[in-house]
Amino acid sequence: MQSFILSLQRLSDTSDSAAKVFDIFEDYLTLHLILEHCSGGTIYERILDSQYFTEQESAVLVKHMLLALLPFHENRLYHGNLTPDSFRFLNNSPHSPLKLVDFGIELKVHRWDAMEHLEGGS
């Protein structure tokens, strides 16, 4: 898990499509990530705020979502539970960048804990 977190932090520093991971704190129960503040809302909120949302705009959003994942996949990192809520706009500007803000860590921690439990029981 630690190697995933370090890789995530390194990738967020070089990717314009992922929220920056500024710091990481871990206690016996919880892992906390201090991320770049993305205040522009979700994709769903943007669609609802628009009077109309064209197929062209949808295609551009999907392209940006896929481009955000590219550096992670190139480094053999996966998300595991990607949804539209995994992305936020940086700010309220109409041309604000779309950022990946949820890195699927909750799922990975759950799987990691399950593996430890299985290995401990053997």
pLDDT tens across 44-81, in order? Answer: 999 888 888 899 999 999 999 999 989 888 988 877 77
Position 115 pLDDT exceeds 80: no
Q: What CATH code is carried by the domain that includes residue 59?
A: 1.10.510.10
Say if residues 65 and 98 touch (Cβ distance below 8 Å).
yes
Mean pLDDT of the chain: 83
Q: How far apart are CA 1 and CA 5, in angstroms?
A: 6
* Structural domain of 117: 2-121
Mean pLDDT in residue range 3-15: 82
Phi, psi of 18, deg, nearest 5: -125, 145
Position 41 pLDDT exceeds 90: yes
Q: What is the pTM of this model?
A: 0.77
**Residues found in the chain:** 122
Banded model confidence at residue 118, pLDDT cuts 50, 70, 90: low
Tokens of 33: 């990530």
Mean pLDDT in residue range 9-36: 86
What's the pLDDT at 98? Answer: 93
Mean pLDDT in residue range 80-93: 90
Position 117 pLDDT exceeds 70: no
The count of domains in the chain is 1
Say if residues 7 and 78 touch (Cβ distance below 8 Å).
no
What's the pLDDT at 31? Answer: 79
